[in-house]
Amino acid sequence: MSAVQDNAFRRLVSNRKALRDYSVIDRLEAGIALQGTEVKSLRRGEASLLGAYARVEEDQVLLYGFNIPAYEYGNRFNHDPIRPRRLLLHGREIRRLKGQTDQKGYALIPLNVYLKRGLIKVDLGICKGKTGSDKRETLRRKTAEREAERAISAARRSAAG
């Protein structure tokens, strides 16, 4: 694998709580309109998706609550850390998202922000909120899978030993 391929995809920020609190129905990759100092802060890994969400407004998608701290060396060119940021999508994608999020209980949640071939992209999820019982069921399922995996690996060790 060459250095170019190795650097083709690099996760910058992830929203781990989103997968706990929401069921992801569909995923979509979107570009994001950023200022220069925002890009520099993101490349350093300084950002937070905690509490971030997107909304379709007037034929465009805006990302709210995405905190990118001010760049240390940006002086007067620095940006507002929590300003709404525009997501770059095609018109038909925006219309589809509008139709899906108009349904009760659905939201647009950013799941990851990553670098793809030199461009910063957002992995946007069309999500439905989980209830308390849904969260408990997910936890039970993960625990059962983990125990099954341990039993399989223990059986392999005893057979090999």
Give the separation between CA 53 and CA 55, rounded to whole angstroms.
7
Report the SS3 class of residue 92: helix
What tokens does 139 get?
């936890």
What tokens does 74 get?
């940006």
Higher confidence at residue 72 or residue 111? Answer: 111
What tokens does 148 get?
């099954």
**Percent of the chain's residues with pLDDT above 70:** 95
H/E element holding 137?
A: helix 132-160
Q: What pLDDT band is residue 4 in, cutting at 50, 70 and 90? A: very low
Give residue 35's pLDDT.
83
What tokens does 76 get?
């007067």
Give the separation between CA 66 and CA 60, rounded to whole angstroms.
17
Question: For residue range 39-85, what is the model confidence (pLDDT) as tens digits?
Answer: 888 888 888 888 899 999 988 999 999 988 888 777 777 777 888 99
Which residues make beta-bridge pairs with 29?
123
Beta strand residue intervals within the chain, DSSP E: 9-14, 22-32, 53-57, 60-64, 85-88, 106-116, 119-129
* The CATH number, out of the four listed (2.40.280.10, 3.40.228.10, 2.40.50.1020, 2.40.33.10), of the domain defined by the range 3-130: 2.40.280.10
Average pLDDT, the chain: 85
Q: What is the pTM of this model?
A: 0.74
- Other CB atoms within 10 A of residue 80 CB: 10
Question: For residue range 13-52, what is the model confidence (pLDDT) as tens digits?
Answer: 888 888 888 888 989 999 999 888 888 888 888 888 888 9
Return the domain boundaries, the chain.
Answer: 3-130, 131-161
Give residue 2's pLDDT.
40
Give residue 159's pLDDT.
82
